[in-house]
Amino acid sequence: MAGAKEIRTQIKSIGSTRKITKAMEMVAASKMRRAQERMQMARPYARRMRNVVAHASSASAEYKHPYLSDREQINTVGYIVVSSDRGLCGGLNSNLFRKLVVSMSDWNDKGVKMNVCVIGKKASAFFKRYGANVVSEATDLGDAPQLERLVGAIKIMMDDYIEGKIDRLFVVYNNFVNTMTQKPTIEQLIPIIPSEEAETQHHWDYIYEREAQEIIDTLMTRYIESLVYQAVADNNACEQAARMVAMKSATDNAGKLIDELQLVYNKARQAAITQELSEIVGGAAAV
């Protein structure tokens, strides 16, 4: 019986694959918890920032920031695409890119050009194949993304907006709903969509120490950065959750495969023994 040995080797190799996927699942689970915490911790800043921006924009300051006014003529749009650095996380990145491609071809039909800023290696690899005007890139952020690593890439997009090279800026990322659900999301960053609550408040203004313009500029920059950071933190939590689920199903599949192979192996072994016995009996009868 020739099959028995090969089946045994195959079982062993699937067994070690299962060990790896099991380990990856557990690592992803613990990383997910931390990523979720990080995501939660980033929320207060964005929320406070939003309040301050709402106040500053509703306050009757003599200076209106370019991020607040919508442009009628749209020639070019910008995308900040947030993806993971590593693979093996199910359909996380491909779902996101699919949604993005639909949105991009919409703009393309209207004759609008696109500039892209990529965050994460997967997006970088995707646009290499897809072909787009990639103006900036930030990769290798690690499990604890730091804002400083993103600042440069975001700044290029914001400068482009001020200079009129792009007329709208979107951020594309996976929104963390829960461990099982990650929602691919495209959000408009600039022009900032005003929140309703800001409109109803009575008018008052801050005392600005230094020029109002300078402070509002800084405020807007930080606000956009915080939104992008939030997107990166969300995406990171999504990545770990998706990887955990993907690895769990891989582990389960490996287990099923081993069970099946074990059955085949036992049958093959039984057949070999039966054959050997009948050969011996037959041989003895001939003598």
Partner 1 sequence: MATIQVDIVSAEQEIWSGEGTMVFAPGEVGELGIAPGHTPLITRLNPGDVRVVKEDGEEEFIFVSGGILEVQPHHVTVLSDTAVRGHDLDETAALEAKKKAEEALEDAASEMDYAQAQAELASTIAQIRSIEKLRKLRK
Binding site for partner 1 (CB under 8 A): 38, 41-42, 44-46, 48-49, 51-52, 55-56, 117-118, 124, 128, 134-139, 146-148, 151-153, 155-156, 159, 204-210, 214-215, 218-219, 222, 225-226, 229
Two structure tokens written together for 136: 């900036």
* Integer Cα distance of 106 and 204 in angstroms: 41
Smallest gap from Cβ 81 to partner 1, in A, equals 12
Q: Which H helix or E strand runs over 170? A: strand 168-176
Closest CA to 118 of 156, 163, 167, 164: 156
* Single-letter amino acid, residue 245: V
- Residue 90 CB, nearest distance to partner 1 (Å)? 24
Query: Which residue lies nearer to partner 1 by CB, 219 or 246?
Result: 219
Least gap, CB of 218 to partner 1 (angstroms): 6
Is the CB of 21 or the CB of 93 nearer to partner 1? Answer: 93
Q: How far is the CB of 231 from partner 1 (least distance, A)?
A: 12
> Measured from the CB atom, is 67 or 265 closer to partner 1?
67
> Which residue, 170 or 229, is less far from partner 1 as judged by CB?
229
**Residues 6 or more apart in contact with residue 136 via CB below 8 angstroms:** 117, 118, 152, 153, 156, 157
User: Whose Cβ is closer to partner 1: residue 4's or residue 156's?
Assistant: 156
**What is the closest distance, in whole angstroms, from the C-beta atom of residue 33 to partner 1 in the complex?**
16
How do beta strands 182-190 and 113-119 pair? unpaired
Half-sphere exposure of 94 (CA within 13 A, CB side): 5
Question: Do 183 and 174 form a contact (C-beta atoms < 8 A)?
Answer: yes
